[in-house]
Structure 1
Amino acid sequence: MIVAKFGGSSMADAEQFKKVKRIIESNPHRSAVVVSALGKSELEPVKLTDQLIKLSQLKSNKLQYQNELVKIEKRLADIKAALALNVDIVELLKPIQSPQNNLTEAEITSRGEYFTATLLADYLDWQMVDAADFISINNHQIDYDLSLKKLNQITNEKQHLIVPGFYARNEQQQITLLERGGGDTSGAILANLLDADLYENWTDTSGILQVDPRIINHSRKIYELTFDELQELAYLGIQVFNSAAIHPVKIKGIPIQIKNTNHPQDLGTRVVLQRAHPTDITGFAGKQNQTIINLKQYQLNRDISAIAALINCLRSQNYNFEYYQTAADQLTLIFNQIEDQELCNALDLIQQQFSNQLEINVQNHIALVAIVSESLKQHPAMTGSFIDKLDQSDINVKSVFQATNDIKVVFGVNNCDYQNAIKMLYNQA
């Protein structure tokens, strides 16, 4: 069985619906489909989700929202007419149309996926199963046992299902949204529940590139990578796949295939537990505008209570670090860039947690440049050669972060050296 998820660009208009239908029908094993809300197209420059958010805000502020509703109705009606569907658009819109229906913003926003799934189910003559009827969240986590129980109560066939992505139901029985890009997560959850053989993620790109195309045009494509490598690249800003969608399929070893709806013949990128050629460099990524705070004190690593109190204190003030690294006498924290006054406040909070003398070194306006590869675990000495290459290119390495058995090495460089550092490492790999 294949679970296929189609993103907003794949569901943008009637022509995209036709492509999706051809893809689904080309393989009988594609028996469960998750969809995002209608995305942007040439005639529709705004995502349906954003239209619904705007409508929700107008309604909550008791402002005129009928014009926005008319735009949404026309958009759905155009697809209905082009595909000769039987969906009653007026009936479909009733819950968000009435001023008396005090729907939450999450409920209104989720209708983008719901409307899109309803249209596609009609087009394919498949069963539409509402995600809110079975995907359950308890204590901010997916409850897989309860979700599977509910799914089995709805359908025993587990065949030819259309499911709207991006939302679920929480323990208060309210519709709650997954994080942006949560359609990927919904697809991964469904693949997990159905014990799928493969989870396909259809988008508008033919897989993942080794480098952000805004930095290097036509960089090499990644044909295969591991779940852990994808997790690291997604965390560092690769936009093709939502990092929260990795865990549901990883725990069952279900491969992911990232494909292009507009070019379905392209191989795309496959995500697996173990690569066939783990010696290759997988990808290069990074983030600009970071702040590095290095704390040094004799036997700092033994002052666990102070370190824990420090971290909790910083988090309570919304200073959430991206990375940290410890050594015998040092603790290094990396944050999204903290500006001057906030930085002073953060340093005061740090100082308050330590009674003894504490050396604090701050580096601001730093970029992180990461190399991701399973091969780094077997060959940690590779890091030295990367540092040499950066040094030969007159790129000053401010810091290096690499834990034991880590599949990435992260270099801190000046913001102004960010793109040059990635280009140099890519060209030398």
Structure 2
Amino acid sequence: MIVCKFGGSSVAEAKQIMKVKSIVDADPNRQIVIVSAPGKRNKDDEKVTDMLYNCNAMVQQGHSCRELFKKVANRYTSILNELGMDQKPFLPILDEVRQMIDAGHGAEYASSRGEYLCARMIAAYFGWTFLDTDPLIVIKDDGTVHEDTYQNLKKVLKKGEKYIVPGFYGCSTEGKVKTFSRGGSDITGAILSRASEAATYENWTDVSGVFSVDPRLVKEAKVIKTMTYREVRELAGVGAGVFHEEAIAPVIAAMIPINVKNTNAPLDAGTMIVDSREIAGQPLAGVSSKSGYSRLTLRKLMLFKGTGIRHALLTMLHIFGVRPSFSLFGVDSIVWFFESTQASESVLN
């Protein structure tokens, strides 16, 4: 059995959703499909999730989001029309979501509705079962997945049944809608893969795999054929944006291979992410970069001969609310990298 996750670009408009259906229909083993909220149709477009955040912001300022939500509703009704579907059954669902946002259910509820509405729409289009992740996927306060999640899913997943599942959210331990960080639909796909004991987790996006370097910066960038879980997690953690770094943990536990593929070029092999690979011929997995970081460097001859220096410096940074994202150690130096916003806030405070 194969679990598929389709990102925002793959469900941004009707013609893309038709491609998704063709891909899924091409292999009967593709039985669980996770979808993101509709993304940008072009560079000047707006993601549905961003519209929903704006709706919540308006409510927090004491205003109704009724007018702004019309933009959200229009995205879905236009897709329904282009797919040749009757939009009437969907209108009460849209109105209920708008009312809940207006009632002040908060940012996590509002931002999660893009995936919810998309999954409801695609389930109707495919004729598959809609499976809501609230309350099945339980997300702890620190953003990690509660172990009860897997038993919850195993109890409801039926062999041979085909499911459309919204990504990005679940519920808190208190039973309220809770989201992962942006891009968290990858995590949902990984969770469903482990819970269903999938043979493969296919992650469909708008590029033909993970590139050795950002193709926007280096024209000669090539798709990496095979890489390990550890390698993709390291690259994702420092800027490679194809796959969410936190989505690796659930599949590692079950040793499920991940195949990153292109919705617009489904025959391309993509990138396989596995437990181990042959180093010969590809000693370097890839190179990534991430902007918005500041660097703090400490150099001192015989720096590490003293005791407790590293701990003392980390304690000082913690007092100022600065948490290093990663570090480098030399013979006589320490280099810490942290998000620049942390530095700005610490200086201001």
- TM-score, normalising length: structure 1: 0.73
| Aligned match of 1:59 | 59
How big is each residue's C-alpha offset from its partner over 1:292-328, in whole Å with a ceiling of 9 and x where there is no partner?
4125375746634x53343243134232223234567
| Aligned match of 2:287 | 284
| Aligned match of 2:271 | 269
Distance in 2 between the 1:43 and 1:341 partners?
A: 30
Of residues 113, 121, 138, the one that matches 1:119 is: 121
Distance in 2 between the 1:278 and 1:183 partners?
A: 33
Is there any run of 5+ residues in structure 2 with no aligned partner, and where?
Answer: none
Distance in 1 between the 2:343 and 2:47 partners?
A: 37
The residue correspondences of 1:24-63 to structure 2 (distance < 5 A) are: 24-42=24-42, 45-63=45-63
C-alpha contact (below 8 Å) 2:8/2:39 kept by paired residues: yes
| Aligned match of 2:323 | 320
What displacement does 1:161 show? 1.1
- Residues 1:71 and 2:85 aligned together: no
Distance in 2 between the 1:286 and 1:61 partners?
A: 37
Distance in 2 between the 1:85 and 1:157 partners?
A: 28
Distance in 1 between the 2:36 and 2:109 partners?
A: 15
- Residues 1:148 and 2:153 aligned together: no
What displacement does 1:94 show? 2.7
What displacement does 1:156 show? 3.1
How big is each residue's C-alpha offset from its partner over 1:213-240, in whole Å with a ceiling of 9 and x where there is no partner?
2221142221111111111211121111
Aligned letter for 1:260?
N
- Residues 1:296 and 2:300 aligned together: yes
Of residues 216, 222, 237, the one that matches 1:220 is: 222
Of residues 305, 310, 322, the one that matches 2:313 is: 310
C-alpha contact (below 8 Å) 2:199/2:256 kept by paired residues: yes
Distance in 2 between the 1:316 and 1:229 partners?
A: 32
Distance in 2 between the 1:273 and 1:341 partners?
A: 39
How big is each residue's C-alpha offset from its partner over 1:16-49, in whole Å with a ceiling of 9 and x where there is no partner?
1110000001001111010000111159811111
| Aligned match of 1:184 | 186
| Aligned match of 1:103 | 105
Secondary structure of 2:134's counterpart equals helix
Secondary structure of 1:285's counterpart equals coil
| Aligned match of 1:398 | none
C-alpha contact (below 8 Å) 1:86/1:122 kept by paired residues: no
User: Structure 1 21/293 Cα, relative in aligned 2: closer, same or farther at 3 Å?
Assistant: same
What displacement does 1:5 show? 0.1
Distance in 2 between the 1:89 and 1:338 partners?
A: 41
Aligned letter for 1:182?
G
What displacement does 1:151 show? 1.8
* Number of equivalent positions: 343
Distance in 2 between the 1:28 and 1:86 partners?
A: 27
What displacement does 1:153 show? 3.5
Distance in 2 between the 1:191 and 1:239 partners?
A: 21
Distance in 2 between the 1:340 and 1:32 partners?
A: 43
C-alpha contact (below 8 Å) 2:150/2:191 kept by paired residues: no
Distance in 2 between the 1:278 and 1:316 partners?
A: 46
* Stretch deviating more after TM superposition (286-295 or 175-184): 286-295
- Residues 1:10 and 2:14 aligned together: no
Of residues 210, 234, 243, the one that matches 1:208 is: 210
User: Structure 1 339/85 Cα, relative in aligned 2: closer, same or farther at 3 Å?
Assistant: closer
Secondary structure of 1:173's counterpart equals coil
What displacement does 1:262 show? 0.8
- TM-score, normalising length: structure 2: 0.89
Aligned letter for 1:96?
V
Distance in 1 between the 2:112 and 2:342 partners?
A: 36
Is there any run of 5+ residues in structure 1 with no aligned partner, and where?
Answer: 347-429
**TM-align CA RMSD:** 2.7
Distance in 2 between the 1:94 and 1:301 partners?
A: 66
What displacement does 1:291 show? 1.4
Identity %: 31
Higher relative contact order (CA 8 A, sep 6+): 2
C-alpha contact (below 8 Å) 2:299/2:333 kept by paired residues: yes
Distance in 2 between the 1:149 and 1:339 partners?
A: 38
| Aligned match of 1:94 | 95
How big is each residue's C-alpha offset from its partner over 1:83-113, in whole Å with a ceiling of 9 and x where there is no partner?
2335622211233323762211110110000
What displacement does 1:143 show? 1.5
Distance in 1 between the 2:160 and 2:315 partners?
A: 45
How big is each residue's C-alpha offset from its partner over 1:127-149, in whole Å with a ceiling of 9 and x where there is no partner?
111111211123522123x1122
Q: Which has the larger radius of gyration?
A: 1
How big is each residue's C-alpha offset from its partner over 1:38-63, in whole Å with a ceiling of 9 and x where there is no partner?
11115981111111111111122122
Secondary structure of 2:321's counterpart equals coil
User: Structure 1 173/308 Cα, relative in aligned 2: closer, same or farther at 3 Å?
Assistant: farther
